[in-house]
Chain A
Amino acid sequence: MIIETEVCIVGSGAGAAPVAYTLSKAGKKVLVLEKGPWLKEEDFSKDEISVCRRPGYTPNLRDERHVLETPHKDHFDAKSTYDSGRDFWNGNMVGGSSNLMSGYFHRLKPNDFKLLSTYGPIEGANVADWPITYEELEPFYAMTEKVVGVSGKVVSHAQLEPRSTPDFPYPPLAENHISSLIDDACENLGYTSLPTARAIISKPKEDRNACYYSNYCGSYACSSGAKGSARAALLDPALKTGNLTVTPHAKVFKLTTDATGKVVSAHYYDQNNQEVIVKAQTFVVACQAIETSRLLLTSTGEKHPDGIGNNNNQLGKNVIFSAGGVGHGEFPYANFSEEEITKLKARGTFVNRSLQEWYEIDDPEFGHKTKGGTVDFLWKHANPISRSIRLKWGKDGLVWGDTLKKKMHHYFTQERHLTFEVFNDWLPTDDCFVTLDDKVTDKWGDPVAKVRLGYHTHDLKVGNYISEKTEAVLKEMGAERIRSSVSGSAPANLQAGGCRFGDDPKTSVLDKNCKVHDCDNLYITDGSFMPTGGSVPYTFTIYANSFRVADYLARKLA
């Protein structure tokens, strides 16, 4: 079967949907191809078994897997995720993993666009300045806040980035008593506690309802439409134009190019494993960094013998994740009054506090000014099964019987648990990249992505520095059993790079408009474009950049 359209977009998540939204509203006929199913608000529940304990929103690893090369002392061990059990998929459904995000929406800072020229090179890292400035992206951060819907409150602080609007379009979500305890501790320590902006609307917006404080937000899809998923916030309204078609269960496996190097068709397997061909004038790929690199590497042709965008051997290189770690502190109810216990126990309200005190580190320990990172505070997730699992481990092995039951009862009923997460730059290196595996294939017989997951030791140094500082905040709050861990383990849900943008085709895959250098009608609009990642979760910047490219495309195709 052959389908013809004007614009074909591969993927339907945060990188894809702004283009679909903008171009369909501009009158272009747009077709979105999504590998996963089309689930809607009424399909979602807060069922830990189907969402978190079983592969409800991701492919079965038997059918589709990755090969991960993990670092050891002097070598990398390659193992398929089917064999290791380390699932590297995120949300496979219309709207992608934005359905499941927590939606911590921090902007990048101006210096994040010029990391190399601001802080200088780091040996062993491929740090590069971006070909655009913060000022060029700023209007699209503002657009994302308005269109996707971001709630929060702007507070003046040393690291606050310039804004074209005074505040967020939606007021902050309801907060738990613990937020005021964080504020007090930070004030005592001389730090500025920041309200965390969230891609969750606190008031209704068009067909979307406000947040209903389910207490199950991150990792779960939203049943009210409050979370600013690409599906609820952008695809649903874009469908009303009549110009957008979304096709689920469409696994794109190849882009075909002509003798001039332009993409002429996308090929996908439908739900019945039948091949379908889509012809279009313009193609956009945004199926998350690893799968985007994989698709381009697979798509060889006369002008692209090593894959589209790979004529200078840059495709799949400089993949980045988010470095950092997590920490915890326990708050025994015995240390609080009855009134405070009632407030702390209130379920569903948010912590929504961040620290950017160390976004730039100026400490003799580092020798000179160094890029730092962001800290987000949050309650330990409500998932009871997942929370129980670590309780089975004691000092000397497994715990069971009466001892286990007493431990569980105390943990669940006598204290609350606060978590913090540190986000700092995962420096791009020659040891973090995507290639095609030469042996392992998916259920359709296509080679899977092989991902080398090397990291730079500087990432750990920065992460540990910030974690230690944040542990002091928990201590000031009166938390007990404070602990944190920082590692070089790559978080699959925070991936970017592989098709970095830049002015020089010899060192980048995309130009500043995210068009592939060696292909005139192919744009990459997920996180693949990022040469460096900043020290915040990526989704906000992916949305903003995709709106920026969409704006360019709307003018170009007009």
Chain B
Amino acid sequence: MASKQFTDDLGTRITKPHRTTLNRRHFLLGMVAISVTAVVPSVISCSASPIHDVHNQLTDFDFATLTAVQNHLFPTTDDAPGATELHAATYYSWTLMDTEKDPKVIQKMRDGLKWIEEEAQKLYQNSFVSLSHNQKETALRSLEKEGYGESWISLTLTNIFEALLSDPIYGANTNQSGWKWLDHTPGIPRPTAENIYKNTAQ
């Protein structure tokens, strides 16, 4: 491991200079048509894992938006798991529950789901979940042009990487599918229920 903390491979929690989260005007939210019919459960069954206990972190609407965003950013492919198989949305929800995490980051993770829905409404007068693949791409690229939007998408990608490559004991990286896809060998000893996060937090 690098001894220098300014290297980018030290597991630092910052990967790019923080961008200011701007408070967007929320009047657009009033235009959001609550037309989502596909309700995705925000509780999954993965016994004894931390994300098993996730519940009521997001409305069904926001959870559906999150799932659609993640599936676009990290789709299932023939050779590799996608966000759905990784339980990435529930992992994201678990992160929202983390009282140790910087509340500003948590707020950005919540706000981002509103921002992308606003973007979809602005561009297509439709919910993000109902957009075509190309429309989703356009909406995300449009949001990316704003500093706060880029920051949120970046955060969401990093969160997907955690779902992909964390120890399966957390409930994501199902059947080590992320590790197997990238030919990754975990370090030994692997974590146990006693020393996983947050049991180690000071």
Contact = CB atoms under 8 A, between A and B. Distances in A.
Interface of A: 36-37, 43-62, 82, 84-87, 92, 101-102, 104, 212, 214-220, 223, 322, 324-326, 347, 376, 378, 380-390, 392-393, 397-398, 400-402, 404-405, 408-409, 412-413, 419, 421, 423, 487, 489-494, 537
Contact of A384 (B1, B154, B179): B179
Query: Contact residue range for chain B?
Result: 35 or more
Contact of B161 (A62, A220, A388): A388
B173 to A, nearest CB: 10
Nearest to A216: B187
Contact of B18 (A84, A223, A423, A487): A84
Interface in B82-108: 98, 100-102
A50 B72 contact: no
Nearest to B101: A54
A106 to B, nearest CB: 11
A402 B75 contact: yes
B87 to A, nearest CB: 15
A386 B9 CA distance: 6
Given A215-B187, A389-B161, A421-B2, A52 B202 contact: no
Contacts of B36: none
Interface string B162-202: 10111100100000001101111111111110111111111
Nearest to A215: B187
Contact of B200 (A56, A212, A487, A493): A56
A384 B165 contact: yes
Given A387-B9, A401-B75, A493-B5, A46 B189 contact: yes
Given A85-B102, A214-B188, A413-B183, A537 B10 contact: no
B125 interface: no
Complex A-B, nearest 3 residue pairs according to Cβ-Cβ distance, in ascending order: A218-B1, A52-B11, A46-B187
**Of residues A44, A217, A322, A326, which shows the largest number of chain B Cβ atoms within 10 Å of its Cβ?**
A326
Contacts of A387: 9
Contacts of B167: 47-49
B61 interface: no
Interface in B1-20: 1-16, 18
B9 A381 contact: yes
Main secondary structure of the interface of B (DSSP, over half): loop
A375 to B, nearest CB: 12
Given A45-B195, A214-B188, A401-B75, A37 B10 contact: no
A101 B186 CA distance: 20
Contacts of A49: 162, 166-167, 170, 191, 196-197
A48 B12 CA distance: 11
A52 B11 CA distance: 5
A491 B4 contact: yes
16 contacts: A47-B190, A50-B195, A50-B200, A54-B100, A54-B198, A54-B201, A56-B197, A84-B18, A220-B187, A388-B164, A388-B165, A390-B8, A400-B157, A404-B74, A408-B182, A419-B7
Contact of A421 (B3, B80, B102, B192): B3
Contacts of B198: 50, 54
B7 A326 contact: yes
Given A324-B4, A412-B184, A491-B4, A48 B74 contact: no
Interface string B64-78: 000000001111010
B139 interface: no
A492 B14 CA distance: 14
B109 interface: no
B111 interface: no
A36 B200 CA distance: 11
B53 interface: no
A53 B202 contact: no
A57 B182 contact: no
Given A87-B13, A537-B3, A45 B191 contact: yes
Contacts of B74: 400-401, 404-405
B80 A405 contact: yes
Contacts of A87: 12-13
B60 interface: no
Contact of A380 (B9, B73, B178): B9
Given A45-B190, A49-B170, A57-B200, A400 B18 contact: no
B1 A412 contact: no
A385 B161 contact: yes
**Of residues A55, A325, A489, which shows the largest number of chain B Cβ atoms within 10 Å of its Cβ?**
A55
Nearest to A487: B6
Contacts of B7: 326, 419, 421
B10 A219 contact: yes
B153 interface: yes
Given A47-B167, A48-B165, A347 B185 contact: yes
B3 A494 contact: yes
A102 B1 CA distance: 6
A480 to B, nearest CB: 18
B10 A386 contact: yes
Contacts of A404: 73-74, 157
A103 B137 CA distance: 46
Nearest to A488: B6
B182 A412 contact: yes
**Of residues B8, B77, B154, B199, which shows the largest number of chain A Cβ atoms within 10 Å of its Cβ?**
B8
Contacts of B101: 54
Nearest to B182: A412
Given A36-B202, A43-B195, A55-B100, 4 more contacts: A37-B202, A401-B74, A405-B77, A493-B4
A37 B199 CA distance: 12
Contacts of B200: 50, 56-57
A53 B11 contact: yes
**Of residues B12, B170, B187, which shows the largest number of chain A Cβ atoms within 10 Å of its Cβ?**
B187
B11 A51 contact: yes
A221 to B, nearest CB: 11
Contacts of A216: 1, 187
